[in-house]
């Protein structure tokens, strides 16, 4: 993990223009060290026979073939799953924030995450769809598990730009009404909106028996507030300028922001919604590890 973190550093990967290459680099670099499937209890179907080798599980010996050929063969299986996943990607203007040129924006980080998850799902033969939204649904792509579909998703994600303000709660209700079949819902957002409305929107998915994962994307500066003296702060969704003495309001800001974080953690936990924070300075291998931990709780 420690060595791969240098490869999976967001600042390094952001230099690559090809999101497909970025997703493959991240996922292959991380998953190559994992030996167990994230699909606990998934159904399986027969794939082919191969000759028995020492160390193979004797439970999978095909005794009928042995009776005909007097040779030991193992029945191999391939994993089959009916899982459908939807990646819900927040493309509102607040996602376009980064503290400095040395850090990538929340939106670039979120797009990389979406690409990684699409690639990971494809490797696991899961059907994956994409819903892009800001104050409304901008793009709705139904799930599929083919390689061509993955490249179609990547092409759509690569070309995305942030555009409008946010209306997460109402938009989540609209998306929930469009997804009829039980699915895995993965929301990637900074959650900067009315908190009660957002949670009600997420609860709508739970009411429809979907599994829900929230990936809360933030810049470290939004959490730590490392600002000094007077600055003009600009609302990224309304362009309103507000002069602020950073040092004077730091304590009040951090108190309010910590309440904001605690609210989402508590509200998600109470509704059996899996919540994890994705800070843009976090290497992707650590993030993927946390994501797989979340998946293991709901599979």
Within this chain, do residues 213 and 176 fall inside the same structural domain, yes or no? yes
pLDDT top residue among 91 and 4 = 91
Is residue 86 pLDDT above 70, yes or no? yes
Within this chain, do residues 274 and 169 fall inside the same structural domain, yes or no? yes
Is residue 12 pLDDT above 50, yes or no? yes
Within this chain, do residues 51 and 182 fall inside the same structural domain, yes or no? no
Identify the pLDDT of residue 14: 59
CA gap 61, 275 in Å, rounded: 42
pLDDT top residue among 241 and 92 = 92
Single out the residue of 186, 191, 181, 201 nearest to residue 131, CA to CA. 186
CA gap 294, 23 in Å, rounded: 19
Report residue 33's pLDDT band, with 50, 70 and 90 as the boundaries: very low
Within this chain, do residues 242 and 261 fall inside the same structural domain, yes or no? yes
Whichever domain contains 217, its CATH number is 3.40.50.410
pLDDT tens digits, residue range 116-137? 999 888 888 889 999 999 999 9
Within this chain, do residues 13 and 26 fall inside the same structural domain, yes or no? yes
Is residue 166 pLDDT above 80, yes or no? yes
Identify the pLDDT of residue 202: 98
pLDDT top residue among 132 and 236 = 132
Single out the residue of 206, 121, 145 nearest to residue 172, CA to CA. 206
Q: pTM for this one? A: 0.78
Kindly write down the DSSP assignment for every residue of 183-219, as one continuous string. -EEEEEE---S-HHHHHHHHHHHHHTT-EEEEEEEE-
Identify the pLDDT of residue 37: 40
Question: Distances from the Cα of 176 to the Cαs of 88, 112, 204, 235, in angstroms?
Answer: 11, 24, 7, 29
Within this chain, do residues 89 and 145 fall inside the same structural domain, yes or no? yes
pLDDT tens digits, residue range 191-208? 999 999 999 999 999 999
Average pLDDT over residues 35-61: 55
Is residue 48 pLDDT above 80, yes or no? no
Would you say 87 and 175 are in contact if contact means Cβ atoms under 8 Å apart? no
Domain with 255, as residue range(s), is 4-36+82-298
Residue 48 C-alpha from the chain's centroid = 34
Within this chain, do residues 86 and 73 fall inside the same structural domain, yes or no? no
Within this chain, do residues 63 and 171 fall inside the same structural domain, yes or no? no
Report residue 39's pLDDT band, with 50, 70 and 90 as the boundaries: very low
Identify the pLDDT of residue 34: 47
pLDDT top residue among 212 and 5 = 212
Instruction: Of 25-29, 121-125, 217-221, give the lowest mean pLDDT range.
Output: 25-29
Provide the domain count of the chain: 2
Within this chain, do residues 228 and 121 fall inside the same structural domain, yes or no? yes
Is residue 17 pLDDT above 70, yes or no? no
Would you say 110 and 209 are in contact if contact means Cβ atoms under 8 Å apart? no
Identify the pLDDT of residue 189: 98
Identify the pLDDT of residue 227: 85
Q: Identify which of 44-48, 52-56, 189-193, 229-233 has the greatest average pLDDT.
A: 189-193
Is residue 298 pLDDT above 70, yes or no? no
CA gap 77, 290 in Å, rounded: 28
Within this chain, do residues 75 and 190 fall inside the same structural domain, yes or no? no
In three-state secondary structure terms, 34 is coil
pLDDT tens digits, residue range 268-284? 999 999 999 999 988 88
Is residue 164 pLDDT above 90, yes or no? no
Report residue 31's pLDDT band, with 50, 70 and 90 as the boundaries: low
Is residue 46 pLDDT above 50, yes or no? no
Within this chain, do residues 72 and 14 fall inside the same structural domain, yes or no? no
Within this chain, do residues 137 and 109 fall inside the same structural domain, yes or no? yes
Identify the pLDDT of residue 126: 87
């Amino acid at each position: 993990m420690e060595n791969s973190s240098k490869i999976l550093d967001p600042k390094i990967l952001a230099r690559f223009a090809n999101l497909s290459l970025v997703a493959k680099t991240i996922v292959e670099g991380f998953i190559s060290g994992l030996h167990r499937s994230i699909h606990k209890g998934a159904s399986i179907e027969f794939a082919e026979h191969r000759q028995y080798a020492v160390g193979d599980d004797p439970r999978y010996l095909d005794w009928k073939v042995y009776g005909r050929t007097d040779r030991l063969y193992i029945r191999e299986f391939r994993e089959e799953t009916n899982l459908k996943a939807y990646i819900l990607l927040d493309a509102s203007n607040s996602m376009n924030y980064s503290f400095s040129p040395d850090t990538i924006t929340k939106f670039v980080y979120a797009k990389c995450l979406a690409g990684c998850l699409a690639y990971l799902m494809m490797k696991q033969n899961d059907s994956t769809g994409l819903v892009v939204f800001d104050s409304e649904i901008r793009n709705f792509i139904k799930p599929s598990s083919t390689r061509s579909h993955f490249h179609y998703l990547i092409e759509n994600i690569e070309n995305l730009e942030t555009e409008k303000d946010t209306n997460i709660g109402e938009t989540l209700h609209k998306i929930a009404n469009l997804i009829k079949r039980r699915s895995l819902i993965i929301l990637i957002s900074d959650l900067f909106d009315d908190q009660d409305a957002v949670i009600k929107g997420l609860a709508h998915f739970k009411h429809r028996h979907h599994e829900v994962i929230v990936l809360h994307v933030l810049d470290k500066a939004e959490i730590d507030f490392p600002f000094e003296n007077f600055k003009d702060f600009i609302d990224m969704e309304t362009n309103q300028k507000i002069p602020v003495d950073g040092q004077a309001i730091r304590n009040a800001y951090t108190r309010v922001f910590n309440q904001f974080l605690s609210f989402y953690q508590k509200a998600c936990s109470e509704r059996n919604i899996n919540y994890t924070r994705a800070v843009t300075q976090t290497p992707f291998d650590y993030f993927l590890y946390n994501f797989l931990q979340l998946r293991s709780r709901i599979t």
